Amino acid sequence: MRKALATLAMPFVPGLCRAAALSPDPTGIWFDPDESGWGMSLAQQGDTVFALLFVYDSTGHPVWYVAPGLRPPASNPPGGPMATGALYRTVGPWFGTSFDPHAVGTTPVGTLTLQSVQPSQQSLQVGYVIDGTTVSKSVQPQTWGDDSALLFGSYEGGLRITGRSSPACDDVALGPIDASRAFNFQVTASTAGGAGQLQFIWGTGIDTACRLAGTYVQRGQLGTVAGAMACGEIGGTALVPGPNDDSVRLTDLAIGEHGFSGRAEVTRGSCTYTGHIGGVRLP
């Protein structure tokens, strides 16, 4: 089956410009919680997404459709689809007998398109056409586990602000300011306790530090932390976030054995700052 599907991929053309990979990575199982029983599996490699649609045909029998080459359109204005490509029906030999590669076949049936519903990819709009029937569904990541405990630890990294909601908004520097200094994160369970409560403390370890106390929520393979942040002298009471301090959302957090990365959004008064956060795990 892999050989048959491989023939559907776009051939490599020297000099062809490759689009950027989708960010955040949509890899995972997607479904509609109000329509349990069907779903979609996505796996991204580079700028290509492989989609498997597991649904039912008009007689109620389960059927698979695959889109092995979803890519961002060459010309894609704001609000356009994230990725689109051809959709195929597959057939093959019964699993309980010896495998016959000659029994594997694919038939083009239509197209499949992915559209982000929110800037932070917490839900997708999937549209597909199969044998002339058009379907549009809103789906969300299916979640089985929780990576919050994996996030606990010490890291070297930083939080970089790259955008602000208005030119009138003051610059903010949440670190590292001096690239010659080590900038460390400490992620622990929050002293406030409760499900999903944790805290980030970061700084150079020399003078000032910042503390974010928030709630962790898992959605598919990615996590989100939302809470309040305070900055001040190390060990000072200013490091206890209050209701008037900056609000922070860390979204699309990918957490692994060697570190974490994600998007950052800081709201200070009427100004919103966006950027990225990440860290490499320290031994």
Q: Contact at 8 Å (CB) between 252 and 276?
A: no
Average pLDDT, the chain: 82
pLDDT of residue 3: 41
CATH number of 148-281: 2.40.128
pLDDT digits (tens, 9 = 90+) for 188-234: 887 665 667 888 888 765 666 788 889 999 988 899 999 988 877 65
Query: What's the number of CA atoms in the CB half-sphere (13 Å) around residue 155?
Result: 26
More confident residue, 194 or 143: 143
- Which amino acid makes up residue 30? W
pLDDT of residue 24: 79
pLDDT of residue 193: 57
Give the residue ranges of DSSP H helices in the chain: 2-6, 148-151
Q: Contact at 8 Å (CB) between 224 and 216?
A: yes
3-state secondary structure 148-181: HHHHCEEEEEEEEEEEECCCCCCCCCCCCCCCCC
User: Angle at CA 126, nearest 5°, toward 122 and 130?
Assistant: 160
